[in-house]
């Protein structure tokens, strides 16, 4: 059930079928020269909606903005602070809880470390504040990691590469503009770089040339299956 499409009576009736909801998070962030800035949010939202076709499930409107650290200097990236992201997640879930929801899956299409840390902190606060809540926090990369077959050819592909380009070819082909060269960042870990574009000029982490629409359709269905397994786990979780 897509929340923004429901009437009040439909929402109330849906609560008799499920108390589980996916809250999609994403980012407005560079994705190389070829993918749209909204790729992360489009991915998490479309995956959530696709999953809801297979079982009763609420899908919240997506949160378009996230914490983008490594890409903050690239053209088009819009970033918010970790504190803002955490507060936003807590307040959205609290409102949903007050409406009767109990099982919350915070699914992020953006997988940056600081971004995910803020969402995990939010999840912990939700557990402390809302006695009957169950919370899962994960990124798209966590779901992709469960696909242990030969669908993905590029090792360590993670941003605007084979996976995301394939998915966008399937979901939003009209929004793709050509391609980008294969690239991997070279940040001087653990030193923090002031000039981040110096170490990641093209904003790609992987190989877009290996992408295809067919592969994107396959990956989306495999992600759906992984997400359905998680939903089964959280609905029976006691801990």
Q: Which helix (H) or strand (E) holds 117?
A: helix 113-129
Give pLDDT tens digits for 177-198. Answer: 999 999 999 999 999 999 999 9
| pLDDT value at residue 206 | 96
Contact of 221 with 101, CB cutoff 8 Å: no
Give pLDDT tens digits for 131-161. Answer: 999 999 999 999 999 887 888 999 889 999 9
Burial readout 36-49 (b: 16 or more C-beta within 10 A, e: otherwise): bbbbbbbbbbbbbe
Q: In the chain, what's the furthest Cα-to-Cα distance?
A: 55
Q: Which helix (H) or strand (E) holds 96?
A: helix 82-98
Give pLDDT tens digits for 9-39. Answer: 999 999 999 999 999 999 999 999 999 999 9
**Domains of the chain, start order:** 3-235 (3.40.50.10310)
Q: How confident is the model at residue 224 (pLDDT cuts 50, 70, 90)?
A: very high
| pLDDT value at residue 239 | 81
Phi/psi for 139 (5° steps) reads -110, 170
How far apart are alpha carbons 42 and 156 in whole angstroms? 22
> How many CA atoms within 13 Å lie on the side-chain side of 140?
29
């Amino acid at each position: 059930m897509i929340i923004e499409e429901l009437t009040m009576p439909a929402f109330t009736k849906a609560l008799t079928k499920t108390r589980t909801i996916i809250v999609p998070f994403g980012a407005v962030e560079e994705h190389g020269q070829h993918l749209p800035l909204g790729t992360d949010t489009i991915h998490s939202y479309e995956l959530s909606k696709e999953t809801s076709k297979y079982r009763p499930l609420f899908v919240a409107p997506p949160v378009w903005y996230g914490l983008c650290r490594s890409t903050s200097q690239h053209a088009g990236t819009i970033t918010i602070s970790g504190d803002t992201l955490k507060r936003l997640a807590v307040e959205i879930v609290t409102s949903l809880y007050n409406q009767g929801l109990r099982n919350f899956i915070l699914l992020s299409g953006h997988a940056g470390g600081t971004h995910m840390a803020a969402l995990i902190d939010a999840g912990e606060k939700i557990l402390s504040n809302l006695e009957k809540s169950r919370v899962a926090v994960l990124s798209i990369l966590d779901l992709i990691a469960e696909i242990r077959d030969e669908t993905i050819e590029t090792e360590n592909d993670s941003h605007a590469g084979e996976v995301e380009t394939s998915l966008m070819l399937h979901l939003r082909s009209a929004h793709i503009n050509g391609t980008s060269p294969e690239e991997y960042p070279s940040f001087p870990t653990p030193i923090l770089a002031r000039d981040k574009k110096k170490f990641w000029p093209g904003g790609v982490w992987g190989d877009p040339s290996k992408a295809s629409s067919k592969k994107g359709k396959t990956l989306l269905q495999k992600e759906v299956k992984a997400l359905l397994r998680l939903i089964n786990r959280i609905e029976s979780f006691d801990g």
